[in-house]
Amino acid sequence: MAEPTEIDSHSPNARDDAVESPEQATAGRQSSPSGHRSSGKSHLSGSIFEQIVENERSYANENYFMPCDEQEQTRLAILYQCFTSVLNGQPSFQSIPRNAQRILEIGTGTGDWAVAVAERFPNAEITATDITCFQPTDVPPNVFFEIDDAQEEWTYTEPFDFIHIRGLAGAFSNWPAVYAQAYQHLQTNGVLEVADFGTISLGEPIADSYLSIYNGACASAAEKSGYPLGLDHMKKTVIEKAGLSIGKSRTFDVPLGTWASDPRKKVAGKMALIATLEGLESTSLRLLTRHMDWKVEDVRDLCGKVQGELMRPDARPFIPCHFIVARKLPI
């Protein structure tokens, strides 16, 4: 297989120090209390949902397949650093206008992206939503965290200049409806950016690999659940049907591990491998036990075997990272 796509193309102002260690990435994380914001503290609004515990993992609701416990928070923090490395220290593939006043993030997770953007754009108001609460408490005064489900009606009264959605494959049963609401709540000439990872692949294929079994089982379970995985939600036709105009798209092949020759790819690859190994169980446990009637021990056994394949020196695994940028054009 050819070397992965250069991960520094189309990313201005590259910084070699953009990636932290896993320990730095997760330092200081704690769940945010509800209540109103005082200066320098997070503003969290919305209803607090009681978490659901299944198979020793915690979930935000009955539908979303990914957990929301401390183990998942660690993975998300590392994954954020991986995206940061892929984008050469930039928060987004599409440059955010310097005069942006209102920015929205859907599915903020640990809140890292929202906090970073709030620091870069101190005059903008950053609204970051998620279905659960584990964002940091010590944040810039211009970032607001809200518990909200983007599949419900959006009730914002003022439009946004930039809407950011990242890593939510499998989160929504009706992506066209989400895009329609994004269109409705964007300023004219406002931008929507969607980013997601594709399916893990081996650079050196293994016949009847455990990875292929894992990928197939998860895809089947997600389809059965009504919340499909994959990247159909990033198809041009799906986004344009909402009235948005595609500006640009890009795919970066991110190595998993340090096998790539380029030093920057090694850094991104190390982060991506850690997040991937941590994410195998997170992604599959609820899907396979609920929708495919797998036993917990069988899911964990498969995950362990996939980890072994990915760690093989000759495997050269990689994962595609997709970005698509759309704009609300004047009517």
- 117-163 pLDDT, tens digit each: 999 999 999 999 999 987 777 899 999 999 999 999 999 999 999 99
pLDDT for res 154:
97
User: CA-based angle 75:81:86, to the nearest 5?
Assistant: 125
pLDDT digits (tens, 9 = 90+) for 175-220: 999 999 999 999 999 999 999 999 999 998 888 999 999 999 999 9
> Is pLDDT above 50 for 20?
no
Nearest to 176 by CA among 198, 151, 156, 155: 151
Dihedral of alpha carbons 152, 218, 57, 85, sign: negative
pLDDT for res 219:
98
pLDDT for res 302:
98
Dihedral of alpha carbons 295, 301, 304, 308, sign: negative
Q: What does the pLDDT average to over 219-224?
A: 98
The whole-model pTM stands at: 0.86
Q: Which residues pair with 89 in a beta bridge?
A: none
pLDDT for res 76:
96
> Is pLDDT above 50 for 227?
yes
Tokens read off for 195: 């980013």
pLDDT band at 95 (very low <50, low <70, confident <90, very high): very high
Contact, 205 vs 175, CB < 8 A? no
pLDDT for res 250:
96
> Is pLDDT above 70 for 11?
no
Mean pLDDT of the residues in the chain = 87
Nearest to 54 by CA among 261, 321, 323, 282: 282
Three-state SS at 319: strand
Nearest to 28 by CA among 111, 101, 92, 91: 111
Contact, 233 vs 329, CB < 8 A? no
